Chains A and B, each alone.
Chain A
Amino acid sequence: MLKIEFETPPLGELLVTPPVQPDAMAHSRPFVAKPEHQQGLGFPGELVDNWQDVALAKMDELLGKYRSLPVFLDSCVKCGACTDKCHYYLGTGDPKNMPVARQDLLRKVYRRYFTLAGKWFPRLVGAVELSEDVINDWYSYYHQCSECRRCSVYCPFGIDTAEITMAGREILASIGVGQKYSNEIIGKVHIIGNNLGLPEPALANTLEGLEEEVEEDINVPVKFPLDQHGAEVLLVTPSADFFAEPHVDGLIGYAKVFHQAGISWTLSSYASEAANFGIFIGNYENMQKVAQRIRQAAIDLGVKRIVVGECGHAWRVAYSFWNTLIGPFDFLDPAYPVPQHICEFTYDLLQGGALKLDPKANDDKVVTFHDSCNVSRGSRLGNVPGGQFTIPRELIRSACSHFVDMAPETIHEHTFCCGGGGGLLTDDLIELRVKGALPRAQALQQVIEQHGVTHMAAICAICKSQFSKVLPYYGMEMDMIISVHQLIGDALVFDSEH
Chain B
Amino acid sequence: MLGSVFAILFYLAAIILVTGVAARVTRYARTPAPLVIPTTPAPLTRTGVAARMAREVVFFESLFKGSKWTWLFGWLFHFGMLVALARHLRYFTEPVWWWVAMIQWIGIYAGMAMFAGLTGLWARRLLVDRVRYISAPSDHLMLLLLLAIAGSGLVMKYVQHTDIVSLKAFTVGLVTLDWQPLPADGALLVHLSLVITLILIFPFSKLLHAPGVFFSPTRNMRDTPRENRHVAPWARDLPGAGPDRS
Give the B-binding residues of A (Cβ under 8 A).
17, 19-20, 22, 63-72, 74-85, 95, 98, 100-101, 104, 115-117, 121, 123-126, 149, 152-160, 163, 284-285, 288-289, 292, 295, 319-321, 323-328, 330, 337-339, 376-380, 385-386, 388-389, 413
Residues of A within 8 Å of B208, CB to CB, are: 74-75
Contact between A385 and B67 (Cβ–Cβ < 8 Å)?
Answer: no
Contact between A116 and B204 (Cβ–Cβ < 8 Å)?
Answer: yes
Complex alpha-carbon distance, A339 and B231, angstroms: 18
Q: Digit string of B162-198 for contact with A (CB within 8 Å is 1, else 0)? A: 0000000000000000000000000000000000000
Contact between B223 and A328 (Cβ–Cβ < 8 Å)?
Answer: no
Residues of B within 8 Å of A324, CB to CB, are: 34-36, 225, 229-231, 235
Q: Digit string of B34-74 for contact with A (CB within 8 Å is 1, else 0)? A: 11110111111000000000001000101101110011001
B106 within 8 A of A: no
Residues of A within 8 Å of B124, CB to CB, are: 80
User: Which of B6-14, B93-101, B135-143, B147-155 makes up part of the contact surface?
Assistant: B135-143
Contact between B41 and A66 (Cβ–Cβ < 8 Å)?
Answer: no
Contact between B225 and A79 (Cβ–Cβ < 8 Å)?
Answer: no
B35 interface neighbour in A17, A79, A123, A320, Cβ under 8 Å = A320
Contact between A67 and B28 (Cβ–Cβ < 8 Å)?
Answer: yes
B232 within 8 A of A: yes
Given A64-B31, A70-B31, A84-B130: A149 and B39 interface contact (C-beta under 8 Å): yes
Given A115-B204, A159-B216: A81 and B209 interface contact (C-beta under 8 Å): no
Contact between A20 and B37 (Cβ–Cβ < 8 Å)?
Answer: no
Contact between B67 and A80 (Cβ–Cβ < 8 Å)?
Answer: yes
Given A85-B66, A159-B216, A378-B40: A74 and B209 interface contact (C-beta under 8 Å): yes
Residues of A within 8 Å of B201, CB to CB, are: 117
A70 interface neighbour in B28, B44, B125, B228, Cβ under 8 Å = B28
Residues of A within 8 Å of B27, CB to CB, are: 70
Residues of B within 8 Å of A125, CB to CB, are: 136-138, 205
Residues of A within 8 Å of B212, CB to CB, are: 71, 74-75, 157
Contact between A67 and B240 (Cβ–Cβ < 8 Å)?
Answer: no
Contact between B65 and A153 (Cβ–Cβ < 8 Å)?
Answer: yes
Counting chain B residues whose Cβ lies within 8 A of the other chain, the interface size class is 35 or more
Residues of B within 8 Å of A82, CB to CB, are: 66
Contact between A98 and B130 (Cβ–Cβ < 8 Å)?
Answer: yes
Complex alpha-carbon distance, A152 and B213, angstroms: 12
Given A71-B212, A152-B218: A81 and B35 interface contact (C-beta under 8 Å): no
B132 to chain A, nearest CB (A): 8
- Which chain A residue has the least Cβ–Cβ distance from B129? A20
Complex alpha-carbon distance, A385 and B44, angstroms: 8
Contact between A67 and B63 (Cβ–Cβ < 8 Å)?
Answer: no
B128 within 8 A of A: yes
When A and B form their complex, which 3 residue pairs have the shortest distance between CB atoms, in order from nearest? A154-B66, A81-B66, A126-B136
A407 to chain B, nearest CB (A): 15
A100 interface neighbour in B134, B235, B240, Cβ under 8 Å = B134
- Which chain B residue has the least Cβ–Cβ distance from A150? B39
- Which chain B residue has the least Cβ–Cβ distance from A160? B218
Residues of B within 8 Å of A101, CB to CB, are: 133-134
Contact between B238 and A376 (Cβ–Cβ < 8 Å)?
Answer: no
Residues of A within 8 Å of B239, CB to CB, are: 285
Given A19-B129, A98-B133, A152-B218: A77 and B39 interface contact (C-beta under 8 Å): no
Complex alpha-carbon distance, A386 and B241, angstroms: 31
B158 within 8 A of A: no
Residues of A within 8 Å of B56, CB to CB, are: 156, 158
Complex alpha-carbon distance, A338 and B130, angstroms: 43
Complex alpha-carbon distance, A209 and B189, angstroms: 85
Complex alpha-carbon distance, A153 and B226, angstroms: 22
Residues of B within 8 Å of A76, CB to CB, are: 206, 209
Return 6 A-B CB contacts under 8 Å, by A number: A65-B234, A67-B28, A95-B133, A155-B63, A157-B209, A288-B240
Residues of B within 8 Å of A288, CB to CB, are: 238, 240-241
Contact between B70 and A66 (Cβ–Cβ < 8 Å)?
Answer: no
Interface centre among A78, A117, A163, A328 (most CB of B within 10 A): A78
A81 to chain B, nearest CB (A): 3
Contact between B206 and A156 (Cβ–Cβ < 8 Å)?
Answer: no
B225 interface neighbour in A19, A71, A159, A319, Cβ under 8 Å = A319
Contact between B228 and A284 (Cβ–Cβ < 8 Å)?
Answer: no
Given A124-B141, A154-B62: A388 and B40 interface contact (C-beta under 8 Å): yes
B216 to chain A, nearest CB (A): 4
B3 within 8 A of A: no
Contact between B135 and A78 (Cβ–Cβ < 8 Å)?
Answer: yes
A403 to chain B, nearest CB (A): 21
B85 to chain A, nearest CB (A): 19
Interface centre among B31, B36, B130, B209 (most CB of A within 10 A): B130
Contact between B33 and A78 (Cβ–Cβ < 8 Å)?
Answer: no
Residues of B within 8 Å of A115, CB to CB, are: 204
A218 to chain B, nearest CB (A): 35
Residues of B within 8 Å of A104, CB to CB, are: 134
Residues of B within 8 Å of A75, CB to CB, are: 206, 208-209, 212-213, 216
Residues of A within 8 Å of B141, CB to CB, are: 124
Given A155-B62, A379-B40, A380-B40: A78 and B134 interface contact (C-beta under 8 Å): yes
Contact between A380 and B41 (Cβ–Cβ < 8 Å)?
Answer: yes
Interface centre among B43, B124, B227, B245 (most CB of A within 10 A): B245
Contact between B62 and A378 (Cβ–Cβ < 8 Å)?
Answer: no
Residues of B within 8 Å of A72, CB to CB, are: 216
Complex alpha-carbon distance, A155 and B24, angstroms: 21
- Which chain B residue has the least Cβ–Cβ distance from A20? B129
Starting from the known contacts A320-B36, A323-B229, 10 additional A-B residue pairs (CB-CB under 8 Å) come to: A20-B129, A20-B130, A67-B215, A71-B212, A80-B124, A95-B130, A117-B201, A117-B205, A121-B138, A292-B242
Residues of B within 8 Å of A157, CB to CB, are: 209, 212-213, 216, 219
Contact between B42 and A385 (Cβ–Cβ < 8 Å)?
Answer: yes
Given A67-B28, A123-B137: A163 and B37 interface contact (C-beta under 8 Å): yes
Contact between B225 and A321 (Cβ–Cβ < 8 Å)?
Answer: yes
A22 to chain B, nearest CB (A): 8
Complex alpha-carbon distance, A69 and B215, angstroms: 11
Contact between B39 and A152 (Cβ–Cβ < 8 Å)?
Answer: yes
Contact between B41 and A98 (Cβ–Cβ < 8 Å)?
Answer: no
Contact between A68 and B40 (Cβ–Cβ < 8 Å)?
Answer: no
B68 to chain A, nearest CB (A): 10
Residues of A within 8 Å of B22, CB to CB, are: none
Contact between A385 and B33 (Cβ–Cβ < 8 Å)?
Answer: no
Given A78-B206, A81-B70, A157-B212: A323 and B225 interface contact (C-beta under 8 Å): yes
Contact between A124 and B136 (Cβ–Cβ < 8 Å)?
Answer: yes
Given A155-B62, A321-B225: A65 and B31 interface contact (C-beta under 8 Å): yes
A200 to chain B, nearest CB (A): 23
